[in-house]
A and B are shown apart, each in its own frame.
Chain A
Amino acid sequence: MAALEARNVKVGQELPSLVKGPITKDELKAYGAASGDPNPIHIDEEFAKNAGYPGVFAHGMLSMGYLGEFLVEAGGAPEAVRKFRARFAKLTWPGDVLTCKGIVTAVREEGGARLVDCDIWTENQAGERKITGSATLTLR
């Protein structure tokens, strides 16, 4: 689906969804290395189990990164993303397939640009919402 368009964007409109995954343990290692996150809970099975989890789980910021890609596509360019907030509500596990989704909640004008507020979230293959948040996109 194409990016949102400034001339016809409407409240209630869905953003074009983006599917990522299934997430692998190798991806968690790669993300940990590239993002400089030293927490072994995302890469070391034993460590995760000792901390009381069934195993390693994904970095919240990995899922937020997927939402970043989704917002850039919805807004048409990296410049479009003006505000971006995420709450890490539930854990994401290896094997999860995440779909990034969003809906337009407000459309306003500011300095000749059209600003679009959205609610955004990721959900897994069972339809369970994992991270929820909001964003403001500038459309030109």
Chain B
Amino acid sequence: MPSKDMIGRVLSTGSATITAEHVAAFADALGDRNPRYRGPGAVAPPTYPIAFMIEAMSGGMETFLELGLNFMTLVHGEQEFEYTRLLKVGETLSLVGRIGDIYEKTGSSGTLDFVTMETEAKDEAGEVVFYSRNVLISRRA
């Protein structure tokens, strides 16, 4: 089970460069035909950060294992984004992910562990471009 001592700990850092090809492929996979997501001056659709956050943050695997979540039952419970501006093709973002909260709930089906991850993305000028908060849930084995 996750230890509350890990709240506030930096889970992982990473960076991601936004390419026109990836943004267009992501919009295609959503069946979203908005022309703003295509071409050299494209911007990214609202949920696009998820497409680079998983890979960019995978360096945090050891910390993640240390959390002691049950991977067999791990699900994405909630996702939240707050944007300060649109993401643009060609820019490189730096990401810092922290463990925001750890808590548990016990019900009829057993004990569920909740871990909140908070990620902040900054552009090359050091300005925050978005915040992401996601809640992972796993049933204790």
Contacts and interface: CB of A to CB of B under 8 A. Distances in A.
A83 B46 contact: no
Interface string A39-81: 0000000000001000000001110111011011000011101
Max chain A Cβ within 10 angstroms of own Cβ: one of B25, B50, B72: B50
B45 A69 contact: yes
Size band of the B side of the interface?
A: 20 to 34
A20 B29 CA distance: 12
Contacts, number: 93
A31 interface: yes
Interface stretch (B81-89, B96-104, B111-119): B81-89
Contacts of A35: 26, 29, 50-51, 54
Nearest to B78: A87
B31 interface: yes
B28 A88 contact: no
Interface of A: 20, 27, 30-31, 33-38, 51, 60-62, 64-66, 68-69, 71-72, 77-79, 81-88
